[in-house]
Structure 1
Amino acid sequence: MILGTVLGLIIFGGIGEFSKSQKANSLGQVKYLIGVSYPNLNGPWQLQMNKEIKNEIARHDDTRVIFTDAAQNDEQQVQDIHSLMSYGIDLLIVSVDNASTLTPVISEVYKKIPVIVLGRGVKGYDYTLYIGSDNQLNGNMAAKEAIRLLGNKRGQIIEVEGNKESLQAEERSKGFRETIQRESKHSIIETINGNWLKDRAEDELKNLLKSGVKPDLIYAHNDAMALGAYQALKQLKIEGIKIIGTDGLNEESGGLRLVKQGIIDATYITPTGGTSAVQYAIDILHKVPGLPKKIILRNHEVTKSNVDSYLTEGDNSSIPFIKKKERKIKLGFAQVGSESEWRLANTDSIISAAKEAGVELILKNADYSQKKQMDIIRDFIKQKVDVIAFSPKTEDGWEEVLMEAKNAGIPIILSDREINVEDQTMWTSFIGSDFVEEGRRAGKWLVSDSKLTTTPLHIIEIEGTANSAPAVDRKQGFNEIIQQNSKFQLLQSYSGDFTLDQGKKWMKQALKTYGTEIDVVYAHNDDMALGAIKAIEDYGLKPGVDIKIISIDATIKAFNSLKLGKMNFTVECNPLLGPQLMKAVKDLENGIEIPQKIITAEETFDQKQSKKEFSRRAY
């Protein structure tokens, strides 16, 4: 720890007394001090992250960085973070291996200063910003390539996993295994732990192969372990085994060069996010409003067929960009409807942000019809707009129209809701909420509120539009939590289509069926919750007292119900996506690859908290 800290001071501040008043260089004074905590700095991916952070921080005269390297010791990293806090850092950037050990200390730091979790995640939401890849999707992509490489024969696969306590390893494994089991007859015969290290992966695999195990393919969670697998095979003179890695660095022994040399068959470029971390850190320290909660960077698949383009300047052929134009950028937005207060606020945000950004906006409303929404998108294609954005009514059925947009070279941005398509290059970016986490937060509040209750609690769920992303995910997240305790019993789920009238209708039906047996209503949005409140009052019961009301959106009408004691808890779903959408459009105009997903920052509110927030609520 001491060595790591001193090293950071040598590079960026000199040894001796260190303070924020110390000059960063001849151009200015140190205003901000950032601490960077690594689990280790002996792997190429972490070294690349460190390089990016150093290069970007050098562009900011008033900011210094202290680095620590825990040398793959979890307890040492905890001590490193305490040490950084003692130096008076203004912001912490942290990458973790062991999420279980590091989550508590990061949660504590988050109560005092901003925290950016970089590359490898922690449990929960106690951080300012997460920047990383979609590791489950990464595993899913690797599985599809494994299926292609193995062909029709029933192949045997060895998985070489990273640190067992790392969420990154857990998610990559989940994505890989689920896809292999769902889409093939191949089998994963063994899993070995390489702990992200080349030498360990090599030794563990050699021991396994010597026992007589004969794989057809090896999937390693990073390229270092993939190289270790290759060396183990080479030493044992075993040929014909396919190898898939992940990281895709363009350096000596990096994944790109391993693919080029035929050492491995595929890798997946997973950006470290080092540059973005510093850029967002500066924005956080300068209190820039409207910053996201999560930035999910895009993965790129690299095989023998496209490796040369990545080795030169990077291959952006799968990601469309806007060609420079002298006129204003033209954005076509296909709004799903005006079904709720949330949607009206969302539309207003898009209109005002486009005006402020100087973007020509063509906004059309699909009146909650998927067919009409598709017709609007096709009309945008005919008009040759520069970008198309839309909030999809449902998850499925978009392949044909999005392929038309892709063939026309028009980037697609998903706003608020995600879609389910096989080809992820059909859309460029998603800007919106983490709906699963919203459901989890609703469930966690119920668990906390009822922790002294031992009798069964009977729940009515009023879902959003069937097969829409928020309805599917909010249900999943809520169920994840309540299914952990048998006292929570779901009586019935109804589809309320996100409208007040439908919420009232189905709550009336629930009361007719179950009456006073109902203890809790969980509604997927505020409008349905408000409808349920009216039905409960009409029935002669007190909402918020006789029946607890949990909702999602946190609109001003929900805040009013919280103040009146008719609602108990609401989870924020931020509709003000306009500024982030316009930033993405401008980045595309400037040839900048935008993140695959931009997840908004959101809060939760109970009756007490709503009184403080009510006067500041903008929607």
Structure 2
Amino acid sequence: MTALTVAGCGGSDDASSGGDAGGPSGGKIVMGFSQVGAESGWRTANTKSVQESAKEAGVELKFSDAQQKQENQIKAIRSFIQQKVSVIAFSPVVESGWDTVLKEARTAKIPVILTDRAVDSPDTSLYKTFLGSDFVEEGKKAGQWLVDQYKDGKDPVNIVQLEGTTGSAPANDRKSGFQEIISADPKFKIVASQTGDFTRAKGKEVMDAFLKSTPKIDVLYAHNDDMALGAIEAIEGAGKVPGKDIKIISVDAVHDGMQALADGKINYIVECSPLLGPQLMDLAKKVVNGEQVPPRVVTEETTFTQDQAKQALPNRKY
């Protein structure tokens, strides 16, 4: 696994750090970066990676927290355009609705890099590259583990799913990848599926509702660790044992999730690395200098069983 060399994957508006609003000076790269928010441990680690990597690379970072609202990101991107930054990078809250503002950036001759999440625009000339994980593949890995666990059984397997933010790339893709794998065997049934918005609190709330409305739950598939951790609280509150009475599959592999995996409360985690800062700064320098970059840069990631989590935890960076 390469966490740093091939890194990537999940405040208030217009907050900026350092420098004046006039844009680049003396050849220094100024990056406008719009983050989704601070909804999870993954996102916090991702923000820290970008901020630290910008400092190390000598890139002036103008940072904006969208607080999970697309209108905040569009406002931030327009602000970056007005400030004449060298490059814009952002992790889109949702996949759709970006063409207008991205065309404004292109007209201003400011290159755009997508980080962590994709947009669904058919016009790929609106951005230079997309750095992040293959979310469909993450869903497939989660589904394959489940299929392997129940390969000898014939009884129905009732699954509940905690989806990520509605309309977001990781939610759409982790759902479709998982479904693609389990749909080959009719014994796997998703009996309930609802967004937990990638947060621990919402994950607990929705899992509480699942437990009350669904008599038999065999498996929980959560689109991120924070929702899984919230669900664990709900499961324990209902007098059940997470990891035994209800098997749990999650995505991310942040520290708290890995601890729950090592403790036997989660059964399997598909990694999605948030440490994309170094690679983002490298790509930013190249696009500002007019160099060609690949249109898609995919993160190399792994998966973790309970035993593997115990081994990895002592050296985990996030």
Query: TM-score, structure 2 length as denominator?
Result: 0.93
Give the distance between the partners of 2:155 and 2:307, measured in 1 at CA: 26
- Specify the SS of the correspondent of 2:214: helix
Task: Work out which of the residue numbers 92, 97, 106 in structure 2 matches 1:392.
Answer: 92
Sequence identity (%): 51
For 1:358 and 1:293, locate their aligned partners in 2 and report how far apart those are by CA, in whole Å. Answer: 20
Q: CA deviation at 1:482?
A: 0.3
One-letter amino acid of the structure 2 residue matched with residue 432 of structure 1: G
Picking from 257, 282, 285, the partner of 1:558 is 257
Secondary structure in 1 matching 2:26 = coil
1:422-437 matches, cutoff 5 A:
422-437=122-137
Match of 1:376 among 76, 85, 88: 76
1:446 equivalenced with 2:142 (yes/no): no
Q: Partner of 2:240: helix, strand, or coil?
A: coil
Q: Distance in 2 between matches of 1:585 and 1:428?
A: 10
Work out whether 1:497 is the aligned partner of 2:197.
yes
SS at match of 1:409: coil
SS at match of 1:484: coil
Instruction: Give the C-alpha shift of residue 292 in structure 1.
Output: 6.1
Alignment-mate amino acid for residue 608 of structure 1: D
Equivalent in the alignment of 2:6: 291
Q: 1:351–1:288: structure 2 CA closer, same or farther, 3 Å change rule?
A: closer
CA–CA separation in structure 1 for the residues paired with 2:289 and 2:123: 25
1:75-116 per-residue CA deviation (whole Å, 9 max, x = no partner) reads xxxxxxxxxxxxxxxxxxxxxxxxxxxxxxxxxxxxxxxxxx
Greater Rg over alpha carbons, structure: 1
Aligned counterparts, 1:101-120, within 5 A: none
User: Which residue identity does 2:125 align to in structure 1?
Assistant: T
> How big is each residue's C-alpha offset from its partner over 1:224-259, in whole Å with a ceiling of 9 and x where there is no partner?
xxxxxxxxxxxxxxxxxxxxxxxxxxxxxxxxxxxx
Residues 236 and 242 of structure 2 are in contact (CA less than 8 Å); yes or no, is this contact kept in structure 1? yes
1:66-77 equivalent positions in 2, closer than 5 A: none
Cα–Cα, structure 1 residues 289 and 390, in superposed 2: closer, same or farther, change >3 Å? closer
Number of residues of Structure 1 aligned to a counterpart in Structure 2: 304
Contact 2:116/2:132 (8 A) holds in 1 = yes
Q: List per-residue Cα deviations over 1:334-358 (Å, max 9, x = no partner).
A: 1110000000000000011111111
Aligned residue identity for 2:89: A
Letter in 2 for 1:291: V
Change (3 A) 1:423 1:482: same
Q: What corresponds to 2:155 in structure 1?
A: 455
> 198, 211, 223: which one pairs with 1:524?
223
Distance in 2, Cα, partners of 1:448 & 1:292: 29
One-letter amino acid of the structure 2 residue matched with residue 419 of structure 1: V
1:182-213 CA distances to partner (integer Å, 9 max, x unpaired)?
xxxxxxxxxxxxxxxxxxxxxxxxxxxxxxxx
The whole-number CA distance in structure 1 between the counterparts of 2:112 and 2:226 is 29
2: distance between equivalents of 1:538 and 1:289?
38
CA distance in 2, matches of 1:289, 1:511: 39
Q: Which of 318, 338, 357 pairs up with 2:57?
A: 357
Task: Structure 2: give runs of 5+ residues left out of the alignment.
Answer: 10-23
Distance across 1 between alignment mates of 2:89 and 2:294: 15
Q: Does 1:465 align with 2:165?
A: yes
What is the SS of the residue equivalent to 1:540? coil
- 1:348-404 C-alpha deviation (Å, 9 max, x unpaired): 000111111111111111111110111000000000001000010000111111111
AA of the residue aligned to 1:498: F
Give the superposed CA RMSD.
1.7
**275, 294, 308: which one aligns with 1:595:** 294
Shift of 1:505: 0.7
Quote how far apart the aligned CAs of 1:589 are: 3.1
* Aligned with residue 303 of structure 2, among 604, 607, 617: 604
> Residues of 2 paired with 1:347 and 1:539: CA distance?
35
Of the three residues 584, 593, 602, the one matched with 2:283 is 584
Separation in structure 1 between the aligned mates of residue 66 and residue 186 of structure 2, nearest angstrom: 42
Shift in Å, 1:288: 10
Equivalent residue of 2:275, what SS? coil
Match of 2:317 in 1: 618
CA distance in 1, matches of 2:4, 2:164: 30
Q: 1:325 to 1:596 in 2, by over 3 A?
A: farther
Q: Which runs of 4+ in 1 moved over 6 A?
A: none
Between the aligned partners of 1:440 and 1:325, the Cα distance in structure 2 is 46
Aligned to 1:572: 271
Report SS of the residue matched to 2:294.
coil
- Could you report, residue by residue, the CA deviation over 1:258-313 in whole angstroms, capped at 9, with x for unpaired residues? xxxxxxxxxxxxxxxxxxxxxxxxxxxxx99523699xxxxxxxxxxxxxxxxxxx
Query: What is residue 107 of structure 2 aligned with on the other side?
Result: 407
- Kept after mapping to 2: 8 A contact 1:292/1:598: no
Q: Is the 8 A contact 2:7 2:276 kept in 1?
A: no
Q: Is the 8 A contact 2:200 2:230 kept in 1?
A: yes
Say which SS state the counterpart of residue 43 (structure 2) adopts.
helix
Ranked by relative contact order (alpha carbons within 8 Å, sequence separation 6 or more), the top structure is 2
CA distance in 2, matches of 1:328, 1:599: 27
Query: C-alpha displacement at 1:325, in angstroms?
Result: 7.0
Matches within 5 A, 1:221-260: none
Q: Is the 8 A contact 2:32 2:63 kept in 1?
A: yes
2:178 to 447, 458, 478: 478
One of 340, 343, 346 as aligned partner of 2:40: 340
Q: Distance in 1 between matches of 2:8 and 2:103?
A: 30
Deviation per residue, 1:427-460 (Å, 9 max, x gap): 1110010000000000011111122222110000
CA contact (8 A) 2:8 2:133 kept: no
Displacement of 1:327 after TM fit?
2.7
- Whole-Å separation in 1 of the counterparts to 2:211 and 2:3: 47
Look up the equivalent residue of 2:5 and give its one-letter code: G
Distance 1:414 1:288, change over 3 A: closer
